[in-house]
Chain A
Amino acid sequence: MDIFLQQIINGVTLGAVYAVVALGYTMVYGIIQLINFAHGELVMIGALVAYSVLQILDPGGLPPAARLPLALVAAAATCMTLGWLMERLAYRPLRGAPRLAPLITAIGVSILLQHLALMIWGRSPISFPALVASETYVVAGAAITNVQIGILATSTALMAGLALLIYGSRLGTAMRATAQDPAVAGLMGIDADRIVALTFLIGAALAAVAGVMVAGYYGIAHYTMGAPLGLKAFCAAVLGGIGNVPGAMLGGLVLGVVEALGAGYIGDLTGNVFGSNYQDVFAFIVLILVLVLRPSGLLGERVGDRA
Chain B
Amino acid sequence: MTRSRHVGTGTVAVAARLVLSGCSEEKKPVAQAADLEIRIGHVAPLTGSIAHLGKDNEQGALLAIQEANATRITIGGRPARFVLVPEDDQADPKTGTTVAQKLVDSKVAGVVGHLNSGTSIPASAVYNGAGIPMISGSATNPQLTEQGFKAVFRVVGRDDQQGPAIASYLAASARPKLVAIIDDATAYGEGLANEVEKTLKAAHVQVLPREKGDDRRSDWKAVLTKIKGRRPDAVFYGGMDATGGPLLKQARELAIKSVFAFGDGACTDKMQELAGEAADGLLCSQAGIPPAAASKKFLDAYKARFKADPILYAPFTYDATLLLVEAIRKADSPDPAKYLPVLQKIEYAGATGRISFDDKGDRKDAEMTIFTMKGGKLAPIAIIKQGQTIKFEDFMAQAGAAAPAPAAQAPAAAGDGKK
Of B49, B52, B185, B226, the contact of A267 (CB 8 Å cutoff): B226
Contacts across chains A and B counted by CB atoms under 8 Å: 109
- Residue ID in chain B nearest A261 by CB atoms: B222
Interface-side segment among A99-107, A181-189, A270-278: A270-278
A136–B278 CA distance with the chains assembled, in angstroms: 14
CB distance from A28 to the nearest CB of B (A): 24
A263 on interface, CB distance cutoff 8 Å: yes
Number of residues on chain B facing chain A (CB within 8 A)? 39
Q: B221 touching A220 by the CB < 8 A rule?
A: no
Q: Which of B93-101, B123-131, B249-257 contacts A (4 or more CB under 8 A)?
A: B249-257
Tell me, in angstroms, the Cα distance from A235 to B48 when the chains sit together.
Answer: 23
Nearest-neighbor residue (CB-CB) of B275 within chain A: A219
Query: A275–B210 contact, CB under 8 A?
Result: yes
- Tell me the complex Cα distance, A124–B51, Å: 8
A118, CB-defined interface residue at 8 Å? yes
How far in angstroms is the closest Cβ of chain A from B52? 4
Stretch at the interface among B211-219, B368-376, B399-407: B211-219
8 Å CB contact of A6 from B225, B242, B245: B225
| Contact of B335 with A by CB under 8 A | no
For B273, what are the chain A residues with a Cβ–Cβ distance below 8 Å?
127
Partner of B311, one of A124, A220, A276: A124
Q: Are B255 and A143 in contact (CB under 8 A)?
A: yes
Indicate if B228 sits at the interface (CB-CB under 8 A). yes
Tell me whether B185 and A277 are in contact (CB under 8 A): yes
> Which of A7-15, A158-166, A285-293 lies at the binding interface?
A7-15
- Whether A260 sits at the interface, judged by CB under 8 Å, is yes
B182-236 at interface with A (beta carbon < 8 Å):
185, 209-214, 216, 218-219, 221-223, 225-226, 228-229
CB neighbours (8 Å) of B226 from chain A are: 3, 7, 263-265, 267, 276
- B9 at the A interface (CB under 8 A): no
Residues of B within 8 A of A272 (CB): 209
Interface residues of A in 1-47 (CB under 8 A from B): 3, 6-7, 10-11, 13-14
Report yes or no: A11 in contact with B246, Cβ–Cβ below 8 A: no
Does A108 lie at the interface of the complex (its beta carbon under 8 Å from any beta carbon of B)?
Answer: no
A276-B274 CB under 8 A given contacts A3-B226, A14-B221, A118-B47: no
User: Is there an interface contact between B49 and A127, defined as CB atoms closer than 8 Å?
Assistant: no
Q: Does A125 contact B (CB under 8 A)?
A: yes
- Give chain B nearest CB distance to A283 CB in angstroms: 11
Query: What secondary structure prevails in chain B residues at the interface with A?
Result: helix
Q: Tell which of A123, A260, A262, A280 touches B221, judged by Cβ atoms closer than 8 Å.
A: A260
Q: Which residues of B contact A138 (CB under 8 A)?
A: 255
Contact B209 A125 (CB under 8 A): no
20 further contact pairs, Cβ within 8 A, besides A124-B270, A262-B222, A275-B210: A10-B219, A14-B219, A14-B221, A115-B47, A122-B52, A123-B54, A123-B55, A125-B52, A125-B270, A143-B254, A145-B253, A219-B249, A219-B276, A220-B245, A222-B242, A224-B216, A261-B222, A264-B226, A276-B213, A279-B222
5 closest pairs, A vs B, by CB? A277-B212, A263-B222, A123-B52, A127-B273, A124-B52
Chain A residues with CB under 8 Å of chain B are 3, 6-7, 10-11, 13-14, 115, 118, 122-125, 127, 130, 134, 136, 138, 143, 145, 214, 218-220, 222, 224-225, 228, 259-265, 267, 272, 275-277, 279-280
Pairs across A and B, CB under 8 Å, 21 listed: A3-B226, A3-B228, A6-B225, A10-B219, A11-B222, A115-B47, A118-B47, A122-B52, A124-B270, A125-B52, A125-B241, A127-B270, A143-B255, A214-B218, A220-B218, A261-B222, A263-B222, A264-B222, A264-B223, A265-B226, A276-B212
